Amino acid sequence: MAFVKVASLHELPPGRARIIRAEGESIALFNLGGEIVALGNVCPHEGDSLGEGTVEGEIVICPGHGWEFDIRSGACMTIPGESVPRFPVRVEGDAILVGLEE
């Protein structure tokens, strides 16, 4: 696994989300009160962008049809068994790095 710089911390204030693309993956970054979490951006329902969803606490609501996902785990709260992948994250200074398979 390689950690790749994908964004700067100052660009992602607490409570906000951002979509980045790295190594062919579309990834949604979330800042949960200072903790950065990276999830697969593509909703397993019909592919809308979770990074454009509404964040309520530690839940993101898909802008497509309202499926809710637990940001910490990537698990779908609306349809049991559905989920998006979670990627490992490192923060080094102002740099946000995401771990990706090589």
What does the DSSP assignment read for 28-46? EEEEETTEEEEEE-B-TTT
Query: Which amino acid would we find at residue 36?
Result: I
DSSP for residue 12:
S
Query: Does 75 participate in binding ligand FES (rule CB under 6 A)?
Result: no
Name which position in 15, 23, 35, 65 contacts ligand FES (CB under 6 A). Answer: 65
Q: Does 39 bind ligand FES (CB under 6 A)?
A: no
Residue 42 or 97: the one with the smaller Cβ distance to ligand FES is 42
- Nearest alpha carbon to residue 39 among 85, 70, 4: 85
70 binds ligand FES (CB under 6 A): no
Q: 45 or 72, CB closer to ligand FES?
A: 45
